Amino acid sequence: MKILVAAKRVPDPNATIKVKPDGSGIVTDNLKYVVNPFCEIAIEEALRIKEKVSGTEVVLIGIGGKVSQEQLRTGLAMGADRAILVVAEQDLDAVAVARIFEKIVRTETPDLVLLGKQAIDDDNNQAGQMLAELLGWPQATFASKVELSGDQKTATVRREVDGGLEDVSFALPGIITADLRLNEPRYASLPGIMKARKKELKEIPVGDLGVDVSPKLKVLSLAPPPKRQAGKMVGSVQELVSLLHTEAKVI
């Protein structure tokens, strides 16, 4: 079978993010970038399926500038077979991303598409669902467990929902978005890093896909969260209750 997996380039979640003074974006100077953690979980799940199902091919897809090659190489070092980079230097909203994925999916004809449930830079949680609608494919979001039938024709996914857990089964091809507890991604080994340099990484200019990438959503400005106020020491329970009532307004 063939599995197509998203690999988005995002700022390192452990880095200190600063907003530009004019609110037009974040300061990118000396900022480290990594594979979106949820995409990394999706890559790991694809690799685990590959280890169980002989002949499985794992194909990564990234969208962004040429610098996104770094994150795709990371996925290749983990064990993916090849990668596709759709080169787009401009910012893209979720609709454009989903339409680009649709074009690649219809060309590659995978049996399964795996994405992170969301990207940690924008937290939109939209691309997977939009892609399923564009393709007319079944989907299971927020996956915490994935099992394929013996003939790889059906997937059963355990989803994390507000009321607990839900099991969903559907016929492939389909789309799954990975949640945090699906697995623990592996580290790339030194042999894997060496092999990744020789694996195929194909670049496709976004203009060649014939996709309308004009934004449907515009971010007007960004602002950092307000600084936390210093704590207060109280002398009694009565004073604490009074502060919770008058200042915190929680009671």
Domain CATH code at residue 164: 3.40.50.620
Residues 234 and 239: their CA atoms lie apart, in Å, by 6
Q: How far is CA 145 from CA 57, 59, 94, 128, 250, in A?
A: 20, 21, 25, 17, 38
Residue 88 falls inside a structural domain:
yes
26-46: average pLDDT = 94
Give the per-residue pLDDT at 163. 84
Residue 236 falls inside a structural domain:
no
pLDDT per position as a tens digit, 153-204: 999 999 988 888 999 999 999 999 999 999 999 999 999 999 999 999 999 9
Single-letter amino acid, residue 36: N
Cβ partners under 8 Å of residue 50, min gap 6:
3, 56, 57, 58, 79
Structural domain containing residue 85: 2-223
Please say if the pLDDT value at position 220 is more than 90: no
Please say if the pLDDT value at position 17 is more than 90: no
7-15: average pLDDT = 93
Please say if the pLDDT value at position 247 is more than 80: no
Structural domain total, the chain: 1
Please say if the pLDDT value at position 4 is more than 80: yes
Please say if the pLDDT value at position 19 is more than 80: yes
pLDDT per position as a tens digit, 107-151: 999 999 999 999 998 888 999 999 999 999 999 999 999 999 999
Residue 142 falls inside a structural domain:
yes
Single-letter amino acid, residue 186: R
Residue 12 falls inside a structural domain:
yes
Give the per-residue pLDDT at 224. 85
Residue 239 falls inside a structural domain:
no
Average pLDDT over the chain reads: 92
Give the per-residue pLDDT at 234. 86
Give the per-residue pLDDT at 70. 94
